Structure 1
């Protein structure tokens, strides 16, 4: 894994890039509110994807200074336009110059919580650069204005005990184009953070199968 510093507008974002010798695709992770590239849940999913031959990029959506400010005010973690804009810039950087593996390589997005909203907005804004999206316990309702424009096949994964978020995901799926092949999958017995035994392993399996089917040349 290589530490990278990704230009995104007037800031540089810290990230960890993993490049298999012959990657079948690259999956970019967008973390949820109050989290970062060191999220143990996202790293477990990333490790599972690496076993399937995918490259991964986990990066911080905020700079260290912004993180400190957001801890006090929480004014950035729900700023979906800002987060989506940065995610789109990261995808552009990755495909154009970020790593040799990504040149011409399909890109998938994996978003958690508010990061899923950013991933959906970025996918709608960059339809030619994003091949598929997976949301874990996401808040697609925060991307309501963009849902109808998402062309990349999207898998919404929600815990069966996360009832409020499940309802938000169901309503969001109804707003997406049914021709896009989007799906909602419920992990029985899982809560919002998928901390129950076997829950995150199931998320990894579902994400791996979705990206394997949709992130390809």
Structure 2
């Protein structure tokens, strides 16, 4: 019996031109999924929309789920980079409120395009995990780092990292519940505020 092919590792851009090409691919995938939904978007469509060869697309994004997980991360980076300068940790008097409002605003940004939000959510589900080339440490990603800074040094390092993981997991579960209309946006926001308050409590 033939063994399934191993998923290739994603290549990292090493020049500004390659970085721009990678962003062009992410933007094309975002626009296509926002118009058509995940199921209708094929990798060759993304390559054509981005103006790159299909081999180039697969070089940076070895699978469709990996591409859309990267789209999610890119949108989070765009959101965090576009916000007003975050307060220094010493100036954060209420970390629970800062954390909750960050996650609520991020949810609103992602939910503003239902099809795109569905695409990135579907690509994160368990059945896709086997084709994603690398495991992601959420604390090391941009959202995890932002939350860690908002928490400051109120706890030891490992406790802080555990709190960030709990916050991101809680946010993601509530985001999916809001996306699927299992709960209303208002219920989701209230639950995020409660989760932030409980998780950041001393």
Q: Decide which structure has greater strand share.
A: 1
Q: Decide which structure has greater helix share.
A: 2
TM-score under structure 2 length normalisation: 0.33
Report 1 or 2 for greater relative contact order, CA contacts < 8 Å, sequence distance ≥ 6.
2
Rg comparison, structure with higher value: 2
